[in-house]
C-alpha cells in the first residue's frame, strides 16, 4: 500500500474579477519529495500557493493533508498543520533585528534568550550562517532569505513552500540553498519549489507540475526532461533562442568611462571605485554581480542622476558628458532603463503616453518651446505597445495598471525605439516571463546590430552569458577586468561575484553559455 | 526666588503637561500601528464635555472619566471605520474629526457654559497633598499619576512584549505582517480606539481638574502639541515623557508672563514658543536623518492587501 501524499489538491479553482486564476488544479506532493511548480508569470503559481498557505481561500475543490480533507482559513492554520513558506518578496521588517523578525513568524511567545538558542541550533544543523542580533536593513539579500528559511524551519515544517528562492542569489548561495533543501527532504520534509528557472528544476526536483493559464498542462519527472522540453510545456510553443550574429565589424568606441569614482549616496549605498570600461558600437557589454554591490549606483552615474567629478570621466561618441544631467546625456544619445520600473523608470499615475514624453521628448520631438506634442507621443506610445506586444488598453492606460512584466516591456521598448547610440539597462528581464524575455533579448541584439553600444547590468548570469560579448563583475563597487564571454566559466564568475567570501562552487547547474 | 515660587511653578508645569502627555501617549500607540490620527484635538474635546457633563449631572467624577474614555474611543472608532474600513484619507479624516469634535462639544456644552464643578483632588491624604513641600509630589490629581504610569507602561508594552512587537510590525510593514498572518486591520482598530480613549481622558483632565468649568474649545490647541510631541520624541515613550515636560515648562512661561505682566517678552511670544520649538526640532530631526527617531514605515499609508 502506498503512503498518503503529504499534500493533495483536487480540482481547486480560484476566480478573481475578470480572470480565472486557477482552473481545477490538481496536485500531489509525496513525503520527502522536492516538487517543482513551474509556470510563466501569471500562470497561477502564486495564487495556488497562497491558497495552500491560507492567505486566500479556494472557490471550489478540496485540499487534503496527509489524506485528511482540511480547510486552511489563515496562515496560522497552515503553520499548525506543518506548512512553512519562504516568500519571494521577503516578509521582513527593516527596522527590527533578526531575532524580532523570527519571533514575529512564530505563533507562541518565546523569550529572546530561548529563541536565540533555538535559532543557533537550527542554523548549525543546516549550515546557515546568520547573526541573530543584526538589524535587517544591514543584511544582504541572501542573508535575508536565510532568515525566512530559519523562521520556517523553527516550526519543524513537513511541507516547505519556496517561492522563486534563487532569483537574487549568487551561484554559490544557490548551491548552499540546494544543499539545505536536499538535507531537509532527506529528513522527510516535502518541498514545493516554485520557479521558472528550468535548469534549477532539472537539477533539484523529482517531480514537476507545470501550470499554464491557470491550468495544469503537464506533470513530469524533470530528471527525464531537458530544460528545453519543460520550457516548451511551460509556454506552450517552441522556445526560440535569440539569434546572435557573430560580431563581424567592430565599431568605434561609443561609450567610454574612465576612473569613475563616487562616494556612497547614503548609509545603505555602495561607493564606486575607479570604474573604467569602454563599449564599442555593435557590442553588448554585461555587468554581473549580486544585488547591492553598486549596480544601482553605477546605473545612476551612467544615466546622469549622479554626476561624475570630471566632465571627461564619461564620454559618449567622444563628447564628454560626465557633468551633464540625464536630459543632456539623452540628447547625445545615451538612454537608460533603471531596475525599478514602477516609480523610477515610469510613473505609475501617468499614462503610457505621458511616460513616453518623460524620456523621449527631446529625441523624438515631443517638445517644442515648452509645449507638448501630445499626438506624436500617443503615436510613439502606440507604436511601442504594438512592437513590443505590451498587453494594455492603449497609450492612455496608466503605467501603474500594467503588470510588472508588461511595464518592463514598455519601458524597454520606449528606450530601444528611440534608437539610442548608447543604451544602459539594468535587469532588463527581471520578473518577465520566458517568452517576453526572449523578445527583449532579441530587441537588444537587433539594436546592437544597428551599431549601438549596449550595457546590460543583470544578476541573471544565464542572461548575460547568452546576450553579451564581454562581461565584467561588479563587487563592492569595483569592476573586474572585462573578459570575452567565451573565455570565462560560470565558476570563475561566481567567485568574482562572491568577492573574497566565496567558497568554491562544485556544480555549475545546467548553465550553458551561448 | 523663594521655595514657594519654585514649588508653585513645578506644580503648574506638572498639571498643564499631563493632558499633553496623555494624549501623546495614546497617539504614540496609534502611530506605532501605522495610522496617523490628526483628530486628537477633536477627541480631547469630546472627552472634555463628556467628563464635565456626566460629573455635573451625576456628581460622580469617576463615572465622568469613564464616559469621557468611552466617548473618546467612540470618536476614534468613527475615524477608524472611515479610514481603515472605507479607505478614506487619514490626514483629511483626522482634520474632519477635529472639526467634528469642536462642533459636537460646543453643541452639547451649550447648556453648561459658565457652570463650575468641584475639581478632582489628589488621591493622597490631605497632610501630604497640602503640605507646603510634599505637595510637589503628592498634591496632584489622579490624572497626573495615571499619565506617568501610562507612558511607562506603553514603553514597556511596545518594546518588551510580544503584542508590542506585533504592533510595531504592523506599523513597519503591513503587507509582511499580513502575509505572516497578523490581522492588520483589527490591530489598527484596537490601536486607534485606544488612542481615542486616552485622548478622552486627557480631555477630561481639562474640564475636571485644570479649569473645572465648561468653556468652548477649552483644550486650546493642546491636541496639536500632543501630535507634535510624538514626532518630537521620535516615537519613543521615554523621550515622550521628557519632551512633554519640556513643552510643559514653555507653556508655564506663557502663564507666568500673562500673570506677572513684567516679562521681557509679551505672553503671546511664550504662547507661540511650544509651536516654534516643535517646528525647529522637527526640522532638525528630519535633516539629521538618523536611524533613531524614524517614523513607522507605514505611517499614514492605507493598507491594501495584495491577495
What does the domain layout of chain B look like in residue ranges? 3-220
Alpha-carbon distance A122 to A130, whole Å? 11
Contacts of B176 in chain A (CB under 8 A): 90-93
Model pLDDT for residues B270-285, shown as the tens digit of each residue? 788 877 877 787 677 6
Alpha-carbon distance B232 to B277, whole Å? 10
Mean pLDDT over A404-423 rounds to 91
Residue A511 lies in a domain: no
Eight-state DSSP code of residue A67: T
**Residues in A lying within 8 Å of B, measured between beta carbons:** 46-47, 50, 54-56, 74-76, 79, 87, 90-96, 100, 103-105, 109
Given a contact cutoff of 8 angstroms between Cβ atoms, the answer to whether A447 and A423 are in contact is yes
Q: Which residues are within 8 A (CB) of B144 and not within 5 positions of it... i.e. 6 or more apart?
A: B14, B15, B18
Indicate whether A219 and A258 sit together in one domain.
Answer: no
Given a contact cutoff of 8 angstroms between Cβ atoms, the answer to whether A427 and A457 are in contact is yes
Alpha-carbon distance A204 to A509, whole Å? 9
Give the cell for residue A392: 494594455
Alpha-carbon distance A52 to A63, whole Å? 8
SS3 letters for chain B?
Answer: CCHHHHHHHHHHHHHHHHHHHHHHHHHHHHHHCCCCCCCHHHHHHHHHHHHHHHHHHHCCHHHHHHHHHHHHHHHHHHHHHHHHHCCCCHHHHHHHHHHHHHHHHHHHHCCCECCECCCCCCCCCHHHHCCCCCHHHHCCCHHHHHHHHHHHHHHHHHHHCHHHHHHHHHHHCHHHHHHHCCCHHHHHHHHHHHHHHHHHHHHHHHHHHHCCEECCCCCCCHHHHHHHHHHHCCCCHHHHHHHHHHHHHHHHHHHHHHHHCCCCCCHHHHHHHHHHHHHHHHHHHHHHCCCCCCCCCCCCCCCCCCC
Number of independent structural domains in chain A: 2
Q: Greater confidence, A157 or A492?
A: A157
Residue A485 lies in a domain: yes
Mean pLDDT over A333-356 rounds to 90
Alpha-carbon distance B254 to B205, whole Å? 20
Mean pLDDT over B148-158 rounds to 96
Contacts of A91 in chain B (CB under 8 A): 173, 175-177, 179-180
| Cα–Cα–Cα angle for B161, B164, B167, rounded to 5 degrees | 155
pLDDT at residue A243 tops 80:
no
Indicate whether A108 and A257 sit together in one domain.
Answer: no
The ipTM (two decimal places) reads 0.79
Print the domain residue range for A457.
Answer: 253-506
Q: Point out the residue among A50, A94, A96 whose CB comes nearest to the CB of B307.
A: A50
Give the cell for residue A379: 503615436
Model pLDDT for residues A128-151, shown as the tens digit of each residue? 778 888 888 878 777 888 888 888
Given a contact cutoff of 8 angstroms between Cβ atoms, the answer to whether B178 and B184 are in contact is yes
What pLDDT does residue A242 have? 57
Long-range own/partner contacts, residues B262-267 (CB < 8 A, 24 or more apart): none
Residue A50 lies in a domain: yes
Q: Greater confidence, A227 or A280?
A: A280
pLDDT at residue A506 tops 70:
no
Residue A241 lies in a domain: no
Name the percent of chain B lying above pLDDT 90.
60
Indicate whether A228 and A263 sit together in one domain.
Answer: no
What pLDDT does residue B153 have? 97
What pLDDT does residue A504 have? 35
Torsion of CA A440, A446, A450, A451, to 10 degrees: 70
Mean pLDDT over B100-125 rounds to 92
Indicate whether A48 and A97 sit together in one domain.
Answer: yes
What pLDDT does residue A151 have? 86
Confidence grade of residue A499 (pLDDT, cut at 50, 70, 90): low
| Cα–Cα–Cα angle for A108, A111, A115, rounded to 5 degrees | 85
Q: Point out the residue among A56, A74, A104 whose CB comes nearest to the CB of B165.
A: A104
Indicate whether A225 and A286 sit together in one domain.
Answer: no
What pLDDT does residue A509 have? 34
What pLDDT does residue A502 have? 35
Mean pLDDT over A194-199 rounds to 78
How many Cβ atoms from other residues are within 10 Å of residue A456's Cβ? Answer: 25
What pLDDT does residue A501 have? 37
CA atoms within a 13 Å half-sphere pointing along the CA-CB vector of A245: 15
Q: What is the CATH number of the domain that holds A45?
A: 3.40.50.300
Q: Greater confidence, A122 or A493?
A: A122
Q: Give Cα A340 to chain centroid, integer Å.
A: 11
What pLDDT does residue B199 have? 98
Of A235, A270, A285, the residue that ends a domain is: A235
Q: Which residues are within 8 A (CB) of B102 and not within 5 positions of it... i.e. 6 or more apart?
A: B41, B42, B45, B217
Alpha-carbon distance B65 to B198, whole Å? 10
Eight-state DSSP code of residue A156: -
What pLDDT does residue A513 have? 34
Q: Greater confidence, A486 or A502?
A: A486
Q: Which residues are within 8 A (CB) of B237 and not within 5 positions of it... i.e. 6 or more apart?
A: B25, B28, B151, B152, B154, B155, B158, B159
Alpha-carbon distance B249 to B271, whole Å? 11
Q: Which residue of A has its CA nearest to B173?
A: A93
What pLDDT does residue B292 have? 57
Alpha-carbon distance B233 to B226, whole Å? 10
Indicate whether A222 and A258 sit together in one domain.
Answer: no
Alpha-carbon distance B60 to A407, whole Å? 65
Count of H-run helices and E-run strands, chain A:
16, 23
SS3 letters for A342-360?
Answer: ECCCECCCCEHHHHHHHHH
Give the cell for residue B117: 464643578
- Taking CB atoms and an 8 Å limit, are B166 and A104 in contact across chains? yes
Confidence grade of residue A69 (pLDDT, cut at 50, 70, 90): very high
Least Cα separation, residue B94 to chain A (angstroms): 25
**Residues in B lying within 8 Å of A, measured between beta carbons:** 162, 165-166, 168-169, 172-173, 175-177, 179-182, 294, 297, 307
Q: Where are the beta strands (DSSP E) in A199-329?
A: 207-212, 215-220, 253-262, 272-280, 284-288, 314-316, 319-320
Give the cell for residue A302: 551612467
Model pLDDT for residues B67-83, shown as the tens digit of each residue? 999 999 999 999 999 99
What pLDDT does residue A436 have? 81
Confidence grade of residue A247 (pLDDT, cut at 50, 70, 90): low
Mean pLDDT over A236-247 rounds to 58
Q: Which residue of B has its CA nearest to A137?
A: B291
Of A235, A267, A290, the residue that ends a domain is: A235
Integer CA distances (angstroms), A314 to A265, A317, A331, B62, B76, in order: 19, 10, 15, 74, 57
Of A174, A203, A235, the residue that ends a domain is: A235
How many Cβ atoms from other residues are within 10 Å of residue A256's Cβ? Answer: 20
What pLDDT does residue A231 have? 74
Model pLDDT for residues A445-485, shown as the tens digit of each residue? 999 999 999 999 987 777 888 899 999 999 889 999 998 88
What pLDDT does residue B154 have? 97
What pLDDT does residue A511 have? 34
Q: Where are the alpha helices (DSSP H) in A127-241?
A: 141-153, 171-186, 198-204, 227-235
Integer CA distances (angstroms), B28 to B69, B171, B231, B233, B237, in order: 17, 11, 9, 10, 8
Interface test with B, best of A91, A154, A348, A404 (most B CBs within 10 A): A91
Indicate whether A28 and A64 sit together in one domain.
Answer: yes
Interface test with A, best of B31, B32, B158, B176 (most A CBs within 10 A): B176
Residue A25 lies in a domain: yes
Given a contact cutoff of 8 angstroms between Cβ atoms, the answer to whether A164 and A194 are in contact is yes
Alpha-carbon distance B203 to B64, whole Å? 11
Residue A317 lies in a domain: yes
What pLDDT does residue A245 have? 54
R_g of chain A, CA atoms, integer Å:
24
- Taking CB atoms and an 8 Å limit, are A105 and B165 in contact across chains? no
What pLDDT does residue A432 have? 76
- Taking CB atoms and an 8 Å limit, are A91 and B180 in contact across chains? yes
Integer CA distances (angstroms), A186 to A18, A149, A183, A190, in order: 42, 17, 5, 9
Interface test with A, best of B163, B169, B180, B185 (most A CBs within 10 A): B180
Mean pLDDT over B129-140 rounds to 88
Q: Which residues are within 8 A (CB) of B156 and not within 5 positions of it... i.e. 6 or more apart?
A: none
pTM tops 0.80: no
Tell me whether strands A314-316 and A367-368 are parallel, antiparallel or unpaired.
Answer: unpaired
- Which helix (H) or strand (E) segment holds residue A462: the answer is helix A461-467
Q: Which residue of B has its CA nearest to A78?
A: B181
Give the cell for residue A72: 486552511
- Taking CB atoms and an 8 Å limit, are A92 and B179 in contact across chains? no
Tell me whether strands A159-163 and A83-86 are parallel, antiparallel or unpaired.
Answer: parallel
What per-residue string of b and e applies to A223-241 under the rule 16 or more CB within 10 Å gives b? Answer: eebebebbbebbbeeebee
pLDDT at residue B262 tops 90:
no
How many Cβ atoms from other residues are within 10 Å of residue B130's Cβ? Answer: 14
Amino acid at each position: 500500500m502506498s503512503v498518503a501524499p503529504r499534500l493533495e489538491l483536487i480540482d481547486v479553482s480560484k476566480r478573481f474579477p475578470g480572470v480565472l486564476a486557477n482552473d481545477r488544479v490538481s496536485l500531489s506532493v509525496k513525503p520527502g519529495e522536492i516538487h517543482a511548480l513551474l509556470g510563466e508569470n501569471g500562470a497561477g503559481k502564486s495564487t495556488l500557493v497562497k491558497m495552500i498557505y491560507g492567505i486566500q481561500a479556494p472557490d471550489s475543490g478540496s485540499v487534503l493533508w496527509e489524506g485528511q480533507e482540511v480547510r486552511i482559513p489563515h496562515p496560522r492554520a497552515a503553520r499548525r498543520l506543518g506548512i512553512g513558506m519562504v516568500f519571494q518578496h521577503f516578509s521582513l521588517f527593516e527596522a527590527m533585528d533578526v531575532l524580532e523578525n523570527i519571533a514575529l513568524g512564530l505563533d507562541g511567545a518565546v523569550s529572546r534568550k530561548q529563541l536565540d538558542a533555538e535559532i543557533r541550533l537550527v542554523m548549525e544543523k543546516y549550515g546557515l550562517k546568520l547573526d541573530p542580533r543584526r538589524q535587517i536593513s544591514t543584511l544582504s539579500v541572501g542573508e535575508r532569505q536565510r532568515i525566512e528559511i530559519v523562521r520556517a524551519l523553527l516550526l519543524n515544517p513537513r511541507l516547505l513552500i519556496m517561492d522563486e528562492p534563487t532569483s537574487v542569489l549568487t551561484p554559490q548561495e544557490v548551491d548552499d540553498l540546494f544543499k539545505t533543501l536536499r538535507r531537509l527532504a532527506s529528513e522527510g520534509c516535502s518541498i514545493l519549489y516554485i520557479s521558472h528557472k528550468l535548469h534549477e528544476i532539472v537539477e533539484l526536483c523529482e517531480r514537476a507540475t507545470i501550470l499554464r493559464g491557470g491550468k495544469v498542462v503537464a506533470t513530469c519527472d524533470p530528471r527525464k526532461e531537458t530544460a528545453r522540453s519543460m520550457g516548451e510545456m511551460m509556454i506552450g510553443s517552441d522556445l526560440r533562442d535569440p539569434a546572435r550574429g557573430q560580431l563581424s565589424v567592430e565599431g568605434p568606441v561609443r561609450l567610454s568611462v574612465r576612473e569613475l569614482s563616487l562616494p556612497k549616496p547614503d548609509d545603505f549605498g555602495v561607493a564606486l571605485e575607479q570604474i573604467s570600461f569602454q563599449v564599442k558600437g555593435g557590442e553588448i557589454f554585461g555587468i554581473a554581480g549580486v544585488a547591492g554591490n553598486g549596480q544601482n549606483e553605477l546605473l545612476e552615474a551612467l544615466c546622469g542622476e549622479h554626476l561624475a567629478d570630471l566632465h571627461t570621466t564619461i564620454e559618449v561618441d567622444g563628447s564628454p558628458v560626465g557633468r551633464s544631467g540625464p536630459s543632456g546625456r539623452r540628447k547625445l544619445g545615451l538612454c537608460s532603463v533603471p531596475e525599478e520600473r514602477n516609480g523610477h523608470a515610469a510613473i505609475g499615475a501617468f499614462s503610457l503616453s505621458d511616460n513616453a514624453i518623460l524620456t523621449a521628448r527631446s529625441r523624438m520631438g515631443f517638445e517644442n518651446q515648452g509645449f507638448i506634442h501630445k499626438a506624436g507621443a500617443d503615436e510613439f506610445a502606440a507604436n511601442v505597445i504594438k512592437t513590443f506586444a505590451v498587453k494594455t488598453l492603449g497609450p492612455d492606460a496608466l503605467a501603474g495598471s500594467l503588470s510588472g512584466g508588461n511595464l518592463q516591456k514598455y519601458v524597454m521598448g520606449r528606450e530601444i525605439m528611440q534608437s539610442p547610440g548608447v543604451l544602459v539597462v539594468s535587469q532588463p528581464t527581471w520578473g518577465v516571463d520566458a517568452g517576453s524575455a526572449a523578445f527583449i533579448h532579441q530587441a537588444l541584439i537587433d539594436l546592437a546590430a544597428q551599431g549601438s553600444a549596449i550595457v546590460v547590468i543583470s544578476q541573471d548570469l544565464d542572461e548575460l552569458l547568452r546576450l553579451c560579448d564581454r562581461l565584467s563583475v561588479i563587487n563592492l563597487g569595483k569592476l573586474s577586468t572585462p573578459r570575452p564571454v567565451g573565455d570565462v566559466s560560470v565558476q570563475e564568475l561566481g567567485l568574482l561575484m562572491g568577492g573574497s567570501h566565496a567558497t568554491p562552487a562544485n556544480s555549475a547547474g545546467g548553465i550553458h553559455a551561448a | 526666588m523663594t521655595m514657594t515660587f519654585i514649588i508653585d511653578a513645578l506644580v503648574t508645569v506638572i498639571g498643564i503637561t499631563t493632558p499633553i502627555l496623555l494624549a501623546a501617549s495614546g497617539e504614540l500607540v496609534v502611530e506605532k500601528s501605522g495610522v496617523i490620527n490628526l483628530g486628537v484635538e477633536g477627541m480631547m474635546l469630546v472627552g472634555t464635555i463628556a467628563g464635565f457633563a456626566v460629573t455635573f449631572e451625576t456628581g460622580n467624577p469617576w463615572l465622568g472619566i469613564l464616559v469621557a474614555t468611552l466617548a473618546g474611543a467612540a470618536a476614534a472608532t468613527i475615524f477608524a471605520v472611515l479610514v481603515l474600513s472605507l479607505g478614506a484619507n487619514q490626514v483629511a479624516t483626522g482634520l474632519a474629526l477635529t472639526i467634528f469634535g469642536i462642533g459636537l462639544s460646543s453643541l452639547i456644552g451649550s447648556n453648561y457654559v459658565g457652570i463650575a464643578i468641584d475639581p478632582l483632588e489628589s488621591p493622597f491624604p490631605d497632610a501630604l497633598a497640602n503640605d507646603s513641600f510634599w505637595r510637589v509630589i503628592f498634591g496632584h490629581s489622579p490624572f497626573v499619576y495615571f499619565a506617568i504610569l501610562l507612558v511607562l507602561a506603553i514603553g514597556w508594552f511596545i518594546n518588551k512584549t510580544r503584542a508590542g512587537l506585533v504592533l510595531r510590525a504592523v506599523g513597519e510593514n503591513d503587507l509582511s505582517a499580513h502575509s505572516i498572518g497578523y490581522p492588520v486591520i483589527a490591530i489598527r482598530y484596537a490601536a486607534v480606539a485606544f488612542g481615542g480613549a486616552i485622548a478622552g481622558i486627557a480631555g477630561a483632565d481639562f474640564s475636571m481638574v485644570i479649569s473645572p468649568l465648561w468653556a468652548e474649545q477649552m483644550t486650546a490647541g493642546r491636541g496639536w502639541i500632543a501630535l507634535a510631541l510624538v514626532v518630537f520624541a521620535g516615537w519613543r515613550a521615554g523621550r515622550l515623557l521628557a519632551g512633554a515636560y519640556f513643552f510643559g515648562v514653555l507653556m508655564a512661561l506663557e502663564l507666568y508672563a500673562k500673570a506677572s505682566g513684567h516679562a521681557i517678552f509679551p505672553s503671546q511670544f511664550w504662547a507661540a514658543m511650544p509651536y516654534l520649538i516643535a517646528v525647529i526640532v522637527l526640522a532638525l530631526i528630519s535633516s539629521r536623518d538618523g536611524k533613531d527617531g524614524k517614523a513607522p514605515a507605514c505611517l499614514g499609508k492605507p493598507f491594501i492587501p495584495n491577495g
